[in-house]
């Protein structure tokens, strides 16, 4: 087997539902205000799927756009890795549904669950397969229908989440958008800070779990806020140092769009101007594993980066999990 390849992102695509749920819409459902939501989260609106739409449905459009951008046919894909916490169902994987729906007849397919850090986790898998020579073309997708697991009677969580999908094609290096490094971390001892309690082997679906609304996301906001800032700063600092770079060498940080206050606090701790972090949470909310690839697509289509720019991806989410990557554009 040949070894020693670099891995590059050769295609990028995203897809967002048309339906918009604004803060004003939420004020009609909850005891809240646009000002309160905006101040606490930075979110003004988020996209929501229509009834019957699944995570794989969102992933179809994002994937086909990424494949078209890379000039790659679905039949040329060797592997599909889908990052999601809202799979179509537990078995089979969302990646398998996607494989069938786009006609990727020669691809293996599986899901990973690393919450908001999932896309970079999946990207690290793709990089490893391509760099080793084991595969030539890997489709990486982050796709979420978070509205399906959001409790719209809980104002502390329902203001945060939106739906969407983003995808990239990873192939052998072509001199552009090279994935220089990826870093992954976790701390399961703090799992209770962000979790969906029921539906697994610990709490199988029952009348009790339904009545207690245990099939919706639960988070401990204050505790998670502090941990998220500390971990984001730590993983960014380590990623830069381990690549013999200085923080000033990074041209753009693409953070997971969790909460504007977390992002701003992390940038302040790093002594970086806030405009060096790309922000779209105001328009899309927190889309978990889909947020970074959606942002990458916006940045690429908007021509916001120059060849040779250093881009740092960073995410933190339930697990607890965190991840980072440096891409040379």
Residues marked as catalytic:
116, 256, 286
Please say whether the beta carbons of 180 and 123 come within 8 A: no
Please say whether the beta carbons of 95 and 107 come within 8 A: no
Pairing of strands 137-145, 79-83: parallel
Q: Which contiguous run of DSSP H or E holds residue 230?
A: helix 221-242
Pairing of strands 45-47, 20-22: antiparallel
Bridge partners of 7?
172
Please say whether the beta carbons of 41 and 259 come within 8 A: yes
The answer for 164, left when phi > 0, alpha when psi is -120 to 50, beta otherwise, is left
Nearest Cα neighbor of 197 from 165, 151, 144, 156 is 151
- The CA distance from 278 to 298, in Å, is 10
Q: Could you give the angle at which helices 34-41 and 260-269 cross, rounded to 10 degrees?
A: 30
Please say whether the beta carbons of 177 and 9 come within 8 A: yes
Nearest Cα neighbor of 171 from 274, 69, 252, 55 is 69
| Rg over CA atoms, the chain | 19
The answer for 244, left when phi > 0, alpha when psi is -120 to 50, beta otherwise, is left
Q: Which contiguous run of DSSP H or E holds residue 137?
A: strand 137-145
DSSP letter assigned to residue 273 = -
């Amino acid at each position: 087997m040949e070894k020693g390849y670099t891995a590059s992102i050769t295609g990028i695509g995203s897809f967002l539902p048309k339906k918009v749920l604004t803060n004003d819409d939420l004020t009609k459902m909850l005891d809240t205000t646009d000002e309160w939501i905006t101040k606490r989260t930075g979110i003004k609106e988020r996209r929501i799927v229509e009834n019957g739409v699944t995570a794989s449905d969102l992933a179809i459009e994002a994937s086909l756009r990424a494949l078209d951008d890379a000039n790659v046919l679905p039949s040329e894909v060797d592997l599909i890795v889908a990052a999601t916490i809202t799979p179509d169902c537990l078995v089979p994987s969302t990646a398998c549904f996607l494989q069938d729906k786009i006609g990727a007849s020669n691809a293996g397919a599986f899901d990973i669950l690393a919450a908001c850090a999932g896309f970079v986790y999946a990207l690290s898998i793709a990089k490893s397969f391509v760099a080793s020579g084991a595969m030539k073309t890997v489709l990486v997708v982050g796709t979420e229908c978070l509205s399906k697991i959001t409790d719209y009677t809980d104002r502390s969580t329902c203001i945060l989440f939106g739906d969407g999908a983003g995808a990239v094609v990873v192939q052998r290096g072509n001199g552009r958008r090279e994935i220089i490094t990826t870093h992954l971390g976790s701390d399961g001892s703090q799992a209770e800070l962000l979790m969906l309690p029921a539906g697994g082997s610990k709490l199988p679906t029952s009348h009790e779990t339904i009545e207690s609304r245990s099939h919706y996301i639960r988070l401990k906001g204050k505790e998670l806020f502090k941990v998220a800032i500390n971990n984001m700063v730590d993983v960014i600092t380590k990623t830069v140092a381990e690549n013999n770079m200085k923080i000033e060498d990074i041209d753009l940080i693409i953070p997971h769009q969790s909460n504007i206050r977390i992002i701003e606090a992390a940038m302040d701790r790093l002594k970086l101007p806030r405009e060096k972090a790309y922000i779209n949470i105001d328009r899309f909310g927190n889309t978990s594993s889909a947020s970074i690839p959606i942002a990458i697509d916006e940045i690429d289509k908007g021509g916001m980066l120059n060849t040779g720019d250093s881009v740092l991806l960073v995410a933190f989410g339930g697990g607890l999990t965190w991840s980072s990557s440096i891409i040379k554009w």
